[in-house]
Structure 1
Amino acid sequence: MPFTADAAAAQQVQERLKSLQQLVHEIEKKRHQSEQGIISLQRYAQDEKPGQSSQKLKSLYKTAILQGEQEEEVIRKALQKITEIRNIKNERRIQSRIASNKESIRKGIWMKMLSSSAQTLPLYVGKIGEKPPPLCGAVPADPNYIARVGDMVAALVKDSGDGENWILAEVVSYNNTTSKYEIDDILKEQNQKGRHTLSRRRVIPLPLMRANPETDPQALFPQGTLVMALFPQTTCFYKALVNKPPATLIDEYELLFEDPTYQEGYSPPHYVVQRYVIAYKQKNKQNTAT
């Protein structure tokens, strides 16, 4: 059975990769057409004489716009194929975990995998006038949103003492009757209690898409905002201050983590990717994680 499921998933991925390859070639053709349309438009505009009819210019403008829209449509189809491939692989990973086929992975390798996953999180590319959707960058989830099985979340769990910590976790299930999640500590194998049952207020879904600072700066936490963020090389979220938000789509947040051992009360700058920076949420209990 595991072999059959793996084979089926591999076949689905290969089918989408084949479609993606065809779309990439189509994108190049559409891009060439768009470039030629713009060149024709520029040449005509430069050579236009006073009093000359603008009908031809209008026609060239319409053609250039249409060609640009066609190129955009093909690019979006390609991005959708990439998203489908990611979803298939994630679904197979979840099935393997349920079947208890998850291999033991060292913490160092886990940290690299988590970093790579966050850096390759899909980038939101909206149309003109569209607003970034929930769970894009700093945009929170809708109030009634339920995280899906396999999604990464920040979860407030009790530590070995009397305190509580926000940890990086993965959704195992959600019970509609009790309105509670079952979540796994992302480092379940390294921790004694890896699974927790938590109410919705103790679970914060992480972003599903990155925001582009150049087109959607409103979907990022501005400088001076108090946030919670995954401290580098750990799987715990701590209070931090945004020193600099990302300036480009590949940049990370520059954060100052709260740290009483420094005179200013904050640590030197640390850099954290968008996926692991969320709105600060005050806890009822004060402890070392806040």
Structure 2
Amino acid sequence: MINMQKSEANNTLNTLSGLSVSESIIISERMREFHQILCQLCEEMVRSDHNLDNMNKTHERTQSEPQKPYYKHKLKGLYKTALHDAKSEEEIVRKALEIIHDIRSVIKSRHRKSGHGFTKETAIRRGALMKMLQQNAATLPLFVPKSNDDITPPMCGAIPSEPNYVAKMGDLVAALVKGTDGDENWILAEVVHYNHNSNKYEIDDIDEEQKDRHILSRRRIIPLPLMRANPVTDLDALFPKDTLVLALYPQTTCFYRAIIQEPPKTAQEEYQVLFEDSSYNDGYSPPLSVPQRYVIICKESRKK
């Protein structure tokens, strides 16, 4: 966990160039807090490790001397301490993730203002764009419930957005647009503006080669997930096998119909999907990996 947070911090530091003085001050303060929290987490982990060592030793004594109730009683106390330590570490990790989110928000806002995001004004090489999209998916926050009673929120994994949800400026969405040939395609786009009077979005195609801006109704927009689902705790928030979905085809910025072959088994794994492809005898491509970020519900029926 600490290594993951350090990696997050390093990635953030590499993107600080071009920030204003006020933005740099905000990030510096948040980074200072982040460092303090990491130190606090290290102290908690040392204390927790010491308790776990005592627990293992007490387990051994309980097995070697089962007639002595003292060790069983001591073991119960050690388990209570371990649970308390785990909750303390969880709270610290959540604080650290909140700081990372705040820092990213400042950087993202700055990038939108300066044209360094996914906007059409930025010249991004195809390889660099694909790498950015992959990183965007890999760093999508993971939903971690605080208790067994926590309900998986909308826009986590396969859970759709609420009917009245409006995507924010800078959010990535799937957009159904009409091409010059008259065909309609689902593309990856960035929200520029939403007009509440007309209920229409203004979006940019993130593909630099297209440089297109579109005005689309809400029914032509599907917001992408804002959090990843953990298969261990939120299996219901993942598309099950054989579900018809729209998935971003690897190394492209377009969504195509696909069938889920295998959902992720861990929080780090991606979906294995079969894209509809008439060039294959069975009508589907070999299995390809697609991150949770770019797999969304397809409301159309499966082709026969």
Q: TM-score range by the shorter chain?
A: 0.7 to 0.9
Query: In 2, are the aligned partners of 1:253 and 1:273 still within 8 Å (CA)?
Result: yes
TM-score (norm. length: structure 1): 0.88
- Cα deviation for residue 40 of structure 1 reads 2.8
The AA in structure 1 aligned to 2:25 is Q
Residue 285 of structure 2 is matched in structure 1 by 267
CA distance in 2, matches of 1:118, 1:76: 20
Letter of the 1:68 partner, please give it: A
Amino acid in the other structure paired with 1:90: K
Structure-2 change in CA distance of 1:214 and 1:15 (3 Å): same
Q: Once the 2 structures are TM-superposed, how far is the Cα of residue 43 of structure 1 from its aligned partner?
A: 3.5
1:77 aligns with 2:95: yes
Tell me, which stretches of 5 or more residues in structure 1 are unaligned?
Answer: none
1:118 aligns with 2:153: no
* Residue of structure 2 in register with 1:9 after alignment: 23
Report if the CA contact (8 A) 2:120-2:206 is conserved. no
In structure 2, the partner of 1:154 is 174
Shift of 1:166: 0.7
Aligned partners of 2:178 and 2:40: how far apart in 1?
A: 53
TM-score (norm 2): 0.84
For the residues of structure 2 that align with 1:60 and 1:112, how far apart are their CA atoms? 46
- 1:3-42 equivalences under 5 Å are 6-42=20-56
Residue pairs, 1:238-277, within 5 angstroms:
238-277=256-295
AA at the equivalent of 1:122: P
Contact 2:120 2:204 in 1 (8 A): no
Give, in whole Å, the separation in 2 of the partners of 1:16 and 1:101: 31
- Give, in angstroms, the shift of residue 33 of structure 1: 1.4
Task: Provide the residue aligned with 1:127 in structure 2.
Answer: 146
Is this contact kept in 2: 1:155–1:203, CA < 8 A? yes
Q: How many residues align?
A: 279
Alpha-carbon distance change, 218 to 186 in structure 1, aligned in 2, over 3 angstroms = same
User: Which letter maps to 1:268?
Assistant: P
Percent of residue pairs bearing the same amino acid type:
48
Question: Structure 2 CA distance, aligned partners of 1:4 and 1:237?
Answer: 33
Question: Structure 2: how far apart are the matches of 1:249 and 1:60?
Answer: 30
Question: 3-state DSSP class of the match of 1:68?
Answer: helix
Q: Distance in 2 between matches of 1:47 and 1:109?
A: 58
2:172–2:190 CA contact under 8 A, matched in 1: yes
Deviation at 1:18, TM superposition (A): 1.9
Q: How does 1:57-206 map to 2 (within 5 A)?
A: 57-97=75-115, 102-129=121-148, 130-187=150-207, 189-191=208-210, 194-206=212-224
Contact 1:37 1:67 in 2 (8 A): no
> Is the 1:257–1:267 contact (alpha carbons within 8 Å) kept by the matching residues of 2?
yes
Runs in 1 of length 4+ with deviation above 6 angstroms? none
Distance in structure 2 (CA, Å) of the matches to 1:175 and 1:144: 14
Note the aligned Cα RMSD (angstroms). 2.4
Q: CA deviation at 1:69?
A: 1.0
What CA distance in whole angstroms lies between the structure 2 residues aligned with 1:125 and 1:143? 24
Q: Cα deviation per residue 1:251-281 (whole Å; 9 max; x = unaligned)? A: 1111110011211010111111111110112
Query: CA offsets per residue over residues 139-193 of structure 1, 9 Å max, x none?
Result: 1111111111100000011111222111000001111122111111112x4225x
